Amino acid sequence: MEKIVGLINAPFTPFYADGSVNFEPIPAYAALLARNGLKGVFINGSSGEGYMLTEEERMQLAEAWMAAAPEGFKVIVHVGSTCVKSSNRLAAHAQKIGAWGVAVMAPPFPKVARIEELVKYCEEIASGAPDLPFYFYHIPAFNGAFLSMLDFLKAVDGRIPNFAGIKYTFESLYEYNRCRRYKNGKFDMLHGQDETILPCLAMGGAQGGIGGTTNYNGAVLSGIIDAWNQGDLEKARELQEFAQDVIDVICHFRGNIVGGKRIMKLIGLDLGPNRTPFQNMTDKEEARMKQELEAINFFERCNK
């Protein structure tokens, strides 16, 4: 299967003030991302509040992103849910509309505690889109699935024909590298932590990744990969440190899903509030966050 090279963005879901989905910004959103070096989108995941969307909303969002995607722009649809039958239907829909790939994270309930449970979960969902690359989204901080991804690769190998790889959003570069080296790099290991792109390039041989702060800082994060490829380690370090500075700011404002989404408004693309039960930022918090971003010259370097 084709391996992803470059960064895929995990977009926020735009909402109106009443909490309903707002599809209007998506064409401008897709254009912004492409203009700043992103290679596609990973929709309806954690940044997109996917578990808080109805099945119909998720399908409509997938259709809207497919309609807005520039030529060559990959649309990967996260279809994970607490109902495996629903996930299978969402996967089938993604294949029907021509999405590039599908993905799932482990469900938040019930907790997946064994490799075989996770394989069966993925197997049933992947069968809904047999012609698309299927990725597992490893983010145990969200669902408690602290399982060995190397053991998972060994168990899934040959069992799910369209299994493509893992979006790896965890702190162990050692495990990431072991997974990347499995059978001479058989599977696509997508780096999933924007704060450690450079060390993953150096140690893990990463080629592609999926990010959340790429929504507003994608040009800088893509620049890390470009600088590394050009052998300019000092520039890559400077860009990585700036990316960490931005992440430090959003951590003061409930992280990327809440604080990061409000940054989109500050750079000219208002995507509305977060859906309940997220605690939305107040106007005072927005003003403080803007001041913190100005202090690191964010608005001179952010996505345009």
- Residues known to be catalytic: 137, 167
7, amino acid identity:
L
- Residue 116 neighbours by CB under 8 Å, 6+ apart: 155
Of 13, 156, 148, residue with least CA distance to 78: 13
DSSP string, 39-103: -EEEESSTTTTGGGS-HHHHHHHHHHHHHHPPTT-EEEEE---S-HHHHHHHHHHHHHTT-SEEE
197, amino acid identity:
I
288, amino acid identity:
R
Q: CA-to-CA distance for 180 and 204, rounded, in angstroms? A: 7
Using alpha carbons only, give the angle 218, 108, 163 rounded to the nearest 5 degrees. 65
